[in-house]
């Protein structure tokens, strides 16, 4: 399908960086290949985008090309699996080079977030018809402290204005490409894709997500995800 921007149907590409090693998981298997209730995390994640009627193609940046292609290369809408980079930012850029060249919307999503709901995915993609840069996020519930290197609390920000950012992060493709090119020219590495877009002056809007959209980073995260799936999340 696609998303309409000013009456014009614009194709949607999903970019999934899946080149991480998952060192915090321990063991020798990358976290995106680990099973979650009997199915590899990456497979669950890609299936979410395959099933979304608004997504036209999926491009995956991976370190282990053979395993990735074996697991998800046959799934609907998977157009290409390309070599990832040494960092997440490099992997996203590699995948961006492989999306179709027509003007489009790009949704960047972590391979290790398999609990994204279809409602949030479709909602943020539809919102991209109006906003050129969006991040899925949830309000911060805990009190946040700013801490100095010696461990001393420096400040307590008002959590009413703080949001924990997740993925997908959705952009008009020309905006995202411009942001990446500027970051490369400046030698800048961001903690997420939106931070690159912020640097070129494009407003980034928040789209409210769900706390269950966990990024699976540690064994404890997997246990929580297993429990959520068992409970029907």
CATH classification of the domain holding 37: 3.90.550.10
Q: Which of 117, 121, 124 is nearest to 214 (CA)?
A: 117
Percent of the chain with pLDDT over 90: 87
- Residue 57, token pair as written in the block: 């193609």
Is residue 105 within 8 Å of 11, Cβ to Cβ?
yes
Q: What is the mean pLDDT of residues 192-211?
A: 98
Range from 13-22, 66-75, 148-157 carrying the lowest mean pLDDT:
13-22
pLDDT digits 0-9 by tens, 186-200: 999 999 999 999 999
Beta-bridge partner residues of 106 = 13, 171
Per-residue pLDDT, 27: 61
Range from 13-22, 166-175, 210-219 carrying the lowest mean pLDDT:
13-22
Q: Would the pLDDT of 109 be above 60?
A: yes
Structurally, how many domains does the chain consist of?
Answer: 1
| 3-state DSSP assignment of residue 105 | strand
Q: What is the mean pLDDT of residues 160-189?
A: 97
Range from 1-5, 109-113, 168-172, 223-227 carrying the lowest mean pLDDT:
1-5
Beta-bridge partner residues of 39 = 36
pTM of the model as a whole: 0.93
Q: What is the mean pLDDT of residues 16-41?
A: 83
Alpha helices in 52-130 (DSSP H): 65-72, 88-96, 118-127
Per-residue pLDDT, 21: 66
Q: Would the pLDDT of 6 be above 70?
A: no
User: Residue 103: which domain range?
Assistant: 3-230
């Amino acid at each position: 399908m696609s998303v309409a921007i000013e009456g014009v149907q614009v194709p949607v590409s999903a970019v999934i960086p899946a080149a991480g090693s998952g060192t915090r998981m321990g063991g020798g298997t990358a976290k995106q290949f680990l099973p979650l209730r009997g199915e590899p995390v990456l497979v669950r994640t890609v299936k979410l985008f395959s099933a979304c009627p608004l997504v036209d193609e999926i491009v995956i940046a991976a370190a282990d090309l053979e395993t990735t292609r074996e697991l998800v290369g046959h799934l609907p809408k998977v157009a290409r699996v390309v070599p990832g980079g040494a960092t997440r930012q490099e992997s996203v850029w590699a995948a961006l080079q492989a999306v179709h060249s027509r003007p489009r919307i790009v949704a960047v999503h972590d391979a290790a977030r398999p609990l994204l709901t279809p409602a949030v995915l479709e909602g943020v993609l539809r919102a991209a018809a109006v906003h050129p840069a969006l991040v899925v996020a949830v309000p911060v519930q805990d009190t946040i402290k700013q801490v100095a290197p010696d461990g001393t609390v420096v400040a307590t920000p008002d959590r009413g204005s703080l949001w924990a950012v997740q993925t997908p992060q959705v952009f008009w493709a020309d905006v995202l490409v411009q942001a990446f090119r500027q970051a490369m020219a400046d030698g800048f590495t961001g903690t997420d894709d939106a931070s690159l877009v912020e640097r070129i002056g494009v407003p980034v809007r928040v789209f409210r997500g769900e706390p269950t959209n966990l990024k699976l980073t540690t064994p404890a995260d997997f246990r929580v995800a297993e429990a959520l799936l068992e409970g029907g999340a």
